[in-house]
C-alpha cells in the first residue's frame, strides 16, 4: 500500500490545481423520500383548492413536516426544515431553492447566465371578503388588513442568491377561468400583482444592511378593496435562480436558498404590529455527547466521563416586549422508564429579543448514561422553557433521541451540501477516537445523487492509523465505487474484512479521478477539526465548517447482504398542528386512523402533569385544555413510550 501511495502522489502533481470544494446538492433526499411515500400511498398533491380558509392566517413552520401544511398552502415545492435557516424567530422555517416537490432539480435548471423561476409557496384561497366573528360582516379597508413575514437569504447554504436571484411576493387579482369567445372558449391564466421583492445577497451582506439581524420582518398593508377584498384572495412567494454551473456535471448543484418564517395575515393590524408574543426555542435540541451525535454504546461504556458532555447549549427567544421571569428544564429517559435524569435552572429574567437578542443557556450535565453490557440504547431528551407567571401560556418544548448503536457519527443524518476534492489522486481522511480496542466491520457513507452522470468514479476506501495528529500508515485499502441510496438516513454500507483497531484512526478515500465524489456534508454540525485532505503529499485541515457523512461501524459481526435496522420507533402523525378548534387527528404507521390495539395516548402540560389519558384513537378531543403547548405520548401495550409529539392549541 505504501508503494501505491508513492505512485499516487507522483500522478497527482500532473492533475491540476489542488483544492477541496463544497457545493449544493442535485437532489434533496428528505423531500425525495417524502414524495416517494406519498406516491406509493396515492396522495400526490393535485395543486387545487377545496375549501377556502379564513382569517387569521398564520404559519410558523414549527411542525414536524417536509411540505407546508395543506390546510394553508396548495403546493408542495417549498421545504419545511430546521437545517438551512439560521436563528429563525422560532424553530423551523420554509426554504425556497432550485429543488422541486419530488426532491429533484427543476427541468429548467440548465447551466447558463439567465435566471429561471424555481419554487413557489402559494396560499389557499383566503376569505378576504368577510369576517365572521363576533358576527358576520363585509370586510372594509378600515379593518386595517396586513400581511407580515420574516425572511433570510442563504442560511446555511454554501451558495447565496446573486443580485438577480430575487425573492418575489405577489397577490392574486383574478383566478384562472374560461373565457367565452365567438369560436369557443379560451383558458385565461391567473393574474397577479407583484407587491414586494428582495434582490439576492449573502447572509453577511443582509445582516450588514439590517442591524445584524438574521431574519428581517416585512409588513405589507392590503388596502385595495376592489382588487383584493374577495373570497378568492391568495398570495404567493416565488424565487429566481441563476444556475451558472461549471462544465463538469459533478459540480452542478442546488443554490440560491431563501428562508421564510412566521407568515401572518389578519385584520386590526398596523405598521407597528410587529410583535407576536411568545417564548420559543430557536434551535434544535443538542447532542448530550461531548464529541458525537451518536456512538457505539460499548465504546461509550468504556469511558463515559470522556464521552458525556459537561454542558450543552440551548437557544431561546422572548418575542414579547416585556421581560419574562422563566425557568428552563430538561428530562432524559430511556424507553422503559428505568432511567431518568432531570435538570431545572434557577429562575431568570428573559429580556426581549428585540433589544437583547436570543438567549443561550448552558445547562450542566452532572450524570452519565447508565453503563451496562447492552449493545445499544436510545435515550429521549426533552428541553422545556416555561414562563413562571400564574396561568401563563408562554413556553415551548423540543424533543430528540440520542441513539447509541454500533457506529460513530459526527453528522445528524441529513446532508445540506456535497463535499469533494480535485484533482485526481487527492486524499480525504476523517478522524475518529476509540475509547477501547474494537473490531471495525464496515464503513457507512452517504453519497449525494448526481444527475445524468454515468462515468465510474472509482476511489480507494482507505483506513489509516495516527501519526501525531495526522493520518499515518495505511492499514486498509479497497478499490470501490460511490453507491447511492435515494432515501433519508440511508447510508450505503461498505463491508470490510474484520480489522482490529485501537486509539485514533482515520477513514476516507484516495480518488482516481478529478470528479467531485459528492459525499454528503452536514452543514449543521461543525466537526471540521476532524477533517483532513491531502492533494500534494501533505495533510491540511479542512476549510469548511460542517461534518462529513462517514460512519465507522464497530463491534459484533454484521450479516453480509443485510442492512442494519435502527431501533423500532412508531410513526405517529398528528394534525392539524397548531390546532385551532381543539380536535386533533392521529395517524400511525401505515396510515391507519383506526384504534391501535393495546396502545394508549397521554397528554401532559409542560410541567409533566397528566391532563388527559385514553386508549388510542384516530380522533382526539382537546377542547377542554385551552390555548397552550402540550406534549402527547403514544404508549405501547408494554408500557413503553414509542412516540412523542409537541402539540399547540392556538386561538
Q: In this structure, are 227 and 247 located in the same domain?
A: yes
Q: Among 391, 408, 425, give the residue marking a domain's end.
A: 408
Nearest 5°: phi and psi at 264? -140, 120
With respect to residue 383, please indicate whether it lies within any of the assigned structural domains. yes
- Look-up of cell digits 431561546: 316
SS3 239: strand
What range does the domain containing 581 cover? 570-651
Predicted pLDDT of residue 205: 97
With respect to residue 585, please indicate whether it lies within any of the assigned structural domains. yes
Residue 647 CA to residue 63 CA, distance in Å, equals: 9
Q: In this structure, are 322 and 388 located in the same domain?
A: yes
Q: What is the CATH number of the domain that holds 593?
A: 2.60.40.3580
Q: In this structure, are 102 and 232 located in the same domain?
A: yes
Q: In this structure, are 424 and 397 located in the same domain?
A: no
Q: In this structure, are 427 and 497 located in the same domain?
A: yes
Distance from CA of residue 446 to its chain's centroid?
17
Q: In this structure, are 265 and 281 located in the same domain?
A: no
Q: Residue 194: exposed, middle, or buried by beta-carbon count in 10 A (0-12, 13-18, 19+)?
A: exposed
DSSP letters, 206-218, are HHHHTTT-SSEEE
Predicted pLDDT of residue 605: 81
With respect to residue 172, please indicate whether it lies within any of the assigned structural domains. no
Predicted pLDDT of residue 635: 83
SS3 230: coil
Predicted pLDDT of residue 404: 96
Nearest to 420 by CA among 548, 597, 328: 548
* Tally of domains in the chain: 4
Q: In this structure, are 133 and 73 located in the same domain?
A: yes
Nearest to 501 by CA among 552, 444, 551: 552
For 178, half-sphere exposure in the C-beta direction (CA atoms, 13 angstrom radius) is 3
Q: In this structure, are 14 and 54 located in the same domain?
A: no
pLDDT, mean of each 10-residue run, the chain (651 residues): 40 52 85 83 61 93 92 95 95 94 84 83 95 88 96 92 94 85 78 96 96 96 95 96 56 80 97 94 96 97 96 96 97 90 97 93 96 92 96 94 96 92 93 98 91 70 96 94 70 94 97 88 96 94 97 86 40 82 79 61 81 88 86 79 79 76
Predicted pLDDT of residue 89: 95
Q: Among 408, 429, 448, give the residue marking a domain's end.
A: 408
Q: What is the CATH number of the domain that holds 317?
A: 2.60.40.10
Q: In this structure, are 584 and 474 located in the same domain?
A: no
Q: What is the CATH number of the domain that holds 237?
A: 2.60.120.260
DSSP letters, 340-408, are EEEEEPPPEEEPPHHHH--EEE--B--S-----S-S-EEEEEEEEEEE-STT---EEEEEEEEEESSB-
Predicted pLDDT of residue 7: 38
With respect to residue 559, please indicate whether it lies within any of the assigned structural domains. no
Predicted pLDDT of residue 586: 87
With respect to residue 563, please indicate whether it lies within any of the assigned structural domains. no
pTM of the predicted model as reported, rounded to 2 decimal places = 0.84
Predicted pLDDT of residue 644: 77
Residue 161 CA to residue 254 CA, distance in Å, equals: 11
| Strand ranges inside 468-514, DSSP E | 470-480, 492-501, 504-511
Q: In this structure, are 224 and 363 located in the same domain?
A: no
With respect to residue 492, please indicate whether it lies within any of the assigned structural domains. yes
With respect to residue 29, please indicate whether it lies within any of the assigned structural domains. no
Q: In this structure, are 97 and 158 located in the same domain?
A: yes
Q: In this structure, are 75 and 213 located in the same domain?
A: yes
Residue 646 CA to residue 63 CA, distance in Å, equals: 9
Amino acid at each position: 500500500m505504501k508503494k501505491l501511495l508513492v505512485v499516487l502522489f507522483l500522478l497527482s502533481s500532473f492533475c491540476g490545481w489542488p483544492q477541496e470544494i463544497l457545493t449544493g446538492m442535485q437532489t434533496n433526499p428528505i423531500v425525495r423520500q417524502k414524495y416517494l411515500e406519498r406516491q406509493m400511498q396515492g396522495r400526490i398533491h393535485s395543486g387545487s383548492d377545496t375549501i377556502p380558509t379564513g382569517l387569521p392566517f398564520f404559519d410558523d413552520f414549527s411542525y414536524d413536516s417536509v411540505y407546508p401544511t395543506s390546510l394553508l398552502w396548495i403546493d408542495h415545492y417549498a421545504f419545511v426544515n430546521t437545517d438551512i435557516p439560521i436563528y429563525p424567530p422560532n424553530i423551523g422555517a420554509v426554504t425556497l431553492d432550485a429543488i422541486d416537490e419530488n426532491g429533484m432539480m427543476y427541468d429548467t435548471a440548465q447551466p447558463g447566465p439567465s435566471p429561471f423561476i424555481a419554487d413557489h409557496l402559494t396560499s389557499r384561497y383566503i376569505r378576504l371578503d368577510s369576517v365572521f366573528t363576533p358576527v358576520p360582516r363585509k370586510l372594509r379597508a378600515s379593518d386595517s388588513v396586513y400581511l407580515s413575514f420574516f425572511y433570510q437569504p442563504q442560511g446555511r447554504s454554501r451558495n447565496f442568491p446573486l443580485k438577480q436571484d430575487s425573492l418575489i411576493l405577489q397577490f392574486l387579482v383574478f383566478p384562472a377561468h374560461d373565457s367565452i369567445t365567438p369560436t369557443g372558449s379560451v383558458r385565461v391564466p391567473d393574474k397577479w400583482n407583484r407587491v414586494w421583492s428582495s434582490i439576492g445577497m449573502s447572509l453577511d451582506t443582509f445582516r450588514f444592511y439590517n442591524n445584524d439581524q438574521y431574519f428581517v420582518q416585512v409588513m405589507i398593508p392590503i388596502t385595495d378593496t376592489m382588487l383584493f377584498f374577495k373570497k378568492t384572495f391568495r398570495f404567493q412567494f416565488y424565487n429566481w435562480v441563476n444556475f451558472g454551473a461549471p462544465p463538469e456535471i459533478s459540480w452542478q448543484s442546488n443554490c440560491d436558498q431563501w428562508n421564510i418564517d412566521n407568515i401572518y395575515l389578519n385584520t386590526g393590524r398596523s405598521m407597528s404590529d410587529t410583535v407576536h408574543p411568545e417564548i420559543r426555542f430557536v434551535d434544535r435540541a443538542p447532542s448530550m455527547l461531548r464529541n458525537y451525535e451518536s456512538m457505539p454504546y460499548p465504546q461509550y461504556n468504556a469511558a463515559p466521563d470522556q464521552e458525556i458532555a459537561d454542558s450543552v447549549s440551548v437557544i431561546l427567544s422572548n418575542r414579547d416586549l416585556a421581560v419574562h421571569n422563566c425557568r428552563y428544564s430538561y428530562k432524559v429517559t430511556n424507553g422503559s422508564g428505568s432511567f431518568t435524569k432531570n435538570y431545572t435552572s434557577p429562575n431568570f429574567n428573559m429580556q426581549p429579543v428585540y433589544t437583547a437578542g436570543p438567549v443561550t443557556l448552558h445547562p450542566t450535565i452532572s450524570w452519565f448514561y447508565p453503563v451496562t453490557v447492552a449493545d445499544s440504547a436510545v435515550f429521549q431528551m426533552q428541553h422545556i422553557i416555561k414562563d413562571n407567571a400564574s396561568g401563563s401560556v408562554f413556553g415551548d418544548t423540543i424533543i430528540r433521541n440520542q441513539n447509541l448503536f454500533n457506529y460513530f457519527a459526527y453528522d445528524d443524518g441529513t446532508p445540506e451540501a456535497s463535499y469533494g476534492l480535485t484533482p485526481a489522486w487527492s486524499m480525504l481522511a476523517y478522524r475518529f477516537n476509540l475509547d477501547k480496542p474494537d473490531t471495525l466491520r464496515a464503513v457507512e457513507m452517504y453519497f449525494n445523487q448526481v444527475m445524468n452522470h454515468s462515468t465510474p468514479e472509482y476511489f480507494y476506501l482507505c483506513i489509516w492509523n495516527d501519526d501525531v495528529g495526522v493520518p499515518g500508515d495505511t492499514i486498509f485499502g479497497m478499490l470501490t465505487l460511490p453507491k447511492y441510496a435515494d432515501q433519508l438516513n440511508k447510508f450505503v454500507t461498505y463491508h470490510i474484512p474484520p480489522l482490529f483497531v485501537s486509539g485514533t484512526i482515520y477513514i476516507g478515500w484516495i480518488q482516481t479521478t478529478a470528479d467531485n465524489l459528492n459525499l454528503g456534508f452536514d452543514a449543521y454540525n461543525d466537526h471540521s477539526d476532524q477533517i483532513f485532505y491531502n492533494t500534494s503529499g501533505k495533510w491540511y485541515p479542512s476549510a469548511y465548517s460542517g461534518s462529513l457523512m462517514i460512519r465507522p461501524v464497530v463491534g459484533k459481526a454484521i450479516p453480509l447482504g443485510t442492512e442494519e435496522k435502527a431501533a423500532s420507533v412508531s410513526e405517529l402523525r398528528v394534525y392539524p398542528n397548531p390546532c385551532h378548534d381543539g380536535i386533533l387527528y392521529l395517524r400511525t404507521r401505515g396510515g391507519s386512523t383506526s384504534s391501535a390495539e393495546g396502545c394508549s395516548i397521554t397528554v401532559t402540560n409542560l410541567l409533566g402533569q397528566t391532563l388527559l389519558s385514553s386508549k388510542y384513537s384516530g380522533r382526539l378531543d382537546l377542547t377542554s385544555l385551552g390555548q397552550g403547548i402540550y406534549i402527547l405520548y403514544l404508549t405501547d401495550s408494554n408500557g413503553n413510550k414509542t412516540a412523542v409529539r409537541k402539540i399547540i392549541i392556538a386561538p
